[in-house]
Structure 1
Amino acid sequence: MLIAEAAILAARILVVDDQPTNVTLLEEVLRQSGYTNVASTMNPLEVCALHRRERFDLILVDLQMPGMDGFQLIEALKTNETDPWLPVLVITAQPGHKLRALQAGARDFIGKPFELVEVKTRIRNMVEVRLLHARLQEYSLGLEAAVEERTAQLRESEARYRSLTELACDWYWEQDESGAFTKVSGPVLEMLGIRVDGLVSRERDNEVAGWNESERASLRAAIAAREPFLDFVFSRRNADGTEQKFQVSGEPMFSRTCQFIGYRGIGMELRGEA
């Protein structure tokens, strides 16, 4: 990921120093280097408001200032929740202040008296890192939005699938690898007499007698072999002598590691075919 030269030179830079000569010198160095968006202030109390409004890509801060020194200014800038990456490069003549400033949250430092090569190099490096960070943040936000949009699309697609499934059949079901129901949609209890309260019932817990055991044995064999089955018909004889027939289709489910995790399928009562 590269930052174009034009973007670097168009970066928003703020110089903060209570000494007019230092401000003039830094502004001149920046302009001679090609930077086109340079501002300055000799009042550190203005900086937080300026940064909230302008969103500077780099803030050059002198540590020794009356009223509010550079360390206090760094702490104040930290309260800007919209800018967690603090774009502060401190200016100091005290070697002992460099480490303290970095620990406080500054990203880099420039020593006094100024060495122009060092000043230009550190400023350019800071601006480039700042713009890279901003671009990465934009990319992350875009990716997050894309994921949310895709998730919404998948949920909508699943809802449509569920709706179509319910129109095409009487019930939809899923079972885990042990045969326990994990998801049921439709009147399974009324049709099959299988209690799925809490989604834990298994086929052997069926409380209704009269099933055709040879048909059920064939269905169990298909499930034991992890085979899909399509329009499998099984029946039961009710206590009043009437017969009910049901048609069920199902397929095995496997994890990404090809481990069997259960079955899912649809079913319906074959009405009028008793």
Structure 2
Amino acid sequence: MITESEILNASILIVDDQPANVLLLEQLLSGAGYTCVASTMNSQEVCALHDKKHYDLILLDLKMPGMDGFEVMEGLKANGTDRYLPVIVLTAEPGHKLRALQAGAKDFISKPFDLVEAKTRIRNMLEVRLLYKNLDEHNKVLEQTVQERTAKLRESEARFRSLTEVACDWYWEQSASAAFTTVSGTVLEILGIRVTAFFGRQNDDEITGWNDAERLMLQAKIAAQEPFKDFAFSRVNSDGSQQQFRVSGEPMFNNACQFIGFRGIGVETTAKIGQE
């Protein structure tokens, strides 16, 4: 919600080449309690002033020498400082109202001024403008928070993966469709083939020497999204030697509690078994 204080403290710029109109609007705004009111009779200054001050509202006369109100609005849009152009045009020509709105103005006040109408339109415009500013600030804070949390998450994941890889022979991740997205470590040197050969389906390439019962049991655990620890499996090599392995894994879920895949570690236990 926008408070009364925020509205009355909003910054307003009056742009009109007629001193009498500037004075009348200044008195109108001052009498209504507005505290931050500035004015200029030089339309060519408006873009530079707004770029510096970022006014909450510009009351802009359309018919001015040198640079009319339509040209001023084009300049304001070209600056690109606001996605919501905070302009109410001042005009005595009914035919200019639609053109002004099409050019980017958000409202208009007819000349000669109806003071009640002018105060109502100014207040309504400021309330909308300040709501847009609050929304922009909220989005900036939200974006910064997301960036910070994403950076922390990536740092945490990198640290987790680094520590995991030190404690095991290989680290692996699968997508929700069981496709391998990450395999790192010394798995190729240890297995001599892709690690996907053990986790894969029966028609995958390079499935040789694995214990089919063990493979099917592990596949069933992954399909059921069940965590597993130190699952033992083995492989008989072409020379008749046997290798023993253990693998651990856990399902991964996103913030909406949707399953997004598995991750885990694997170690070769052949040498340890031979030493027991």
TM class, shorter-chain normalised? Answer: 0.7 to 0.9
Change (3 A) 1:94 1:239: closer
For residue 234 of structure 1, report the CA deviation from its aligned partner: 2.6
Deviates more, 1:47-56 or 1:137-146: 47-56
Distance 2:90 2:208 in 1: 88
Contact 2:248/2:266, CA 8 A, preserved across alignment = yes
- Per the alignment, do residues 152 and 255 of structure 1 end up closer, same or farther by CA in structure 2, a change over 3 Å counting? closer
- Is structure 2 residue 20 aligned with structure 1 residue 18? no
What is the deviation of 1:195? 2.9
2:153 corresponds in structure 1 to: 154
2:3 maps to 4
The 10-residue stretch of structure 1 (65-74 or 135-144) with the greater mean CA deviation from structure 2? 65-74
Report matched runs for 1:92-241 at 5 Å.
Answer: 92-175=91-174, 180-195=179-194, 202=200, 207=206, 210-211=209-210, 213=211, 216-224=212-220, 226=224, 227-238=226-237
User: Normalising to structure 1: TM-score of the pair?
Assistant: 0.86
Cα distance in 1 between the residues matched to 2:51 and 2:167 = 58
Distance between the aligned counterparts of 2:258 and 2:130, measured in 1?
Answer: 46
Identity of counterpart residues, as a percentage? 64
Distance 1:64 1:189, change over 3 A: same
Work out whether 1:64 is the aligned partner of 2:60. no
Partner of 1:74: 73
Q: Tell me the distance in 1 between the aligned counterparts of 2:19 and 2:255.
A: 67
Alpha-carbon offset, residue 129 of structure 1 = 1.1
Aligned partner letter, 1:154: L
Structure 1 residues 210 and 104: CA distance shift in structure 2, 3 A: closer
Who is 1:250 aligned against? Answer: 249
**Distance in 2, Cα, partners of 1:164 & 1:170:** 12
Change (3 A) 1:134 1:269: same
Partner amino acid, structure 2, of 1:125: N
The one-letter code sitting in structure 1 at the alignment partner of 2:214 is S
The secondary structure found in structure 1 opposite 2:78 is coil
* Secondary structure of 1:39's aligned partner: strand
User: Which amino acid in 2 is paired with 1:217?
Assistant: A
Q: Deviations over 1:26-64 (max 9, x none)?
A: 111110011111111111011111111111111111111
Distance 1:178 1:75, change over 3 A: closer
CA contact (8 A) 1:181 1:202 kept: no
* Contact 1:193–1:207 under 8 Å retained in 2: no
CA shift in 2, pair 1:89/1:75, >3 Å: same
- Deviation per CA, 1:157-192, whole angstroms, max 9, x where unpaired? 111111121122111123457765332111222212
CA-CA distance at 1:219 after TM superposition: 3.6
Unaligned runs of 5+ in 2: none
Deviation at 1:207, TM superposition (A): 4.6
How big is each residue's C-alpha offset from its partner over 1:54-79, in whole Å with a ceiling of 9 and x where there is no partner?
11111111111111111111111112
Letter in 2 for 1:272: K
The amino acid that maps onto 1:131 is L
**What SS does the aligned partner of 2:55 have?**
coil
**Which residue identity does 2:72 align to in structure 1?**
L
Q: Given residue 56 of structure 1, which amino acid in structure 2 is its aligned partner?
A: Y
Contact 2:169 2:186 in 1 (8 A): yes
Gap change, CA 1:143 and 1:111, over 3 Å in 2: same
Q: Does structure 1 residue 273 correspond to structure 2 residue 269?
A: no
SS of the residue 2:233 aligns to? strand
Match of 1:34 in 2: 33
What's the C-alpha RMSD, in Å, of the aligned pairs?
2.9
> Is residue 75–residue 104 contact of structure 1 (8 Å, CA) maintained in 2?
yes
* Residues 239-262 of structure 1 deviation map (CA, whole Å, 9 limit, x = unaligned): 666543211123456789999876
Taking the aligned partners of 1:41 and 1:73, their CA distance within structure 2 comes to: 13
Is 1:43–2:42 an aligned residue pair? yes
TM-score by length of 2: 0.86
Structure 1 alignment gaps of length 5 or more:
none
